[in-house]
């Protein structure tokens, strides 16, 4: 008579599970950091920042909106961050050097994110284009380099390894 025993160790997460976790974790973490930087830098509360993001959809009328408009802006912000995280994580599957040298690739990716948002997304949105003046622009670039790009790359490296 043989008896079977349940395994006491949990099975390792699948590769797909690690990829999804890296994307969602990186998007959420980078989104929180970026949103916090925007609040601190501007001195404005989170619901105001949500409305500022929502101007991409509604133009300046977003500032007249209520909680619903703020939440649309906040959701949009996190969706954009998650899309940027997905792009990096998926690219790192094809080019593992992005994970091996995450401390270089991440900050470079953060600078690319800043450029894409400032020179492509914002000018095409209802918000319009406006480049902040120094020193604010330096804070924004540094925030994207270290608190967005590096964070996204670190999540990819941490969950998917070097190779």
Judged against a pLDDT cut of 70, whether residue 1 lies above it is answered with: no
Q: How confident is the model at residue 72 (pLDDT cuts 50, 70, 90)?
A: very high
| Domain contains 1 | no
Q: How confident is the model at residue 9 (pLDDT cuts 50, 70, 90)?
A: low
| Domain contains 7 | no
Q: Residue 125 is part of which domain span?
A: 15-160
What is the chain's Cα-based Rg? 19
Q: How confident is the model at residue 129 (pLDDT cuts 50, 70, 90)?
A: confident
| Domain contains 9 | no
Domain count, the chain: 1
HSE-CB of 79 using CA atoms within 13 angstroms: 9
Judged against a pLDDT cut of 60, whether residue 135 lies above it is answered with: yes
Put simply, whether the predicted model's pTM sits higher than 0.85 gets the answer yes
């Amino acid at each position: 008579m043989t008896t079977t025993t349940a395994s006491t160790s949990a099975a390792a997460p699948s590769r797909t599970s690690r990829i999804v976790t890296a994307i969602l974790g990186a998007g959420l973490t980078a989104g929180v950091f970026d949103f916090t930087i925007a609040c601190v830098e501007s001195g404005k509360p989170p619901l105001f920042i949500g409305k500022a993001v929502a101007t991409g959809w509604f133009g300046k009328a977003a500032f007249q909106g209520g909680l619903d408009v703020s939440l649309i802006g906040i959701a949009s912000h996190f969706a954009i961050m998650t899309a940027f995280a997905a792009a990096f994580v998926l690219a790192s599957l094809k080019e593992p050097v992005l994970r091996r040298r995450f401390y270089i690739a991440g900050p470079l990716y953060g600078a690319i994110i800043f450029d894409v948002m400032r020179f492509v997304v914002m000018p095409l949105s209802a918000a319009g284009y406006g480049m902040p003046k120094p020193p604010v622009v330096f804070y924004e670039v540094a925030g994207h380099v270290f608190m967005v790009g590096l964070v996204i790359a670190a999540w990819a490296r941490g969950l998917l390894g070097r190779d």
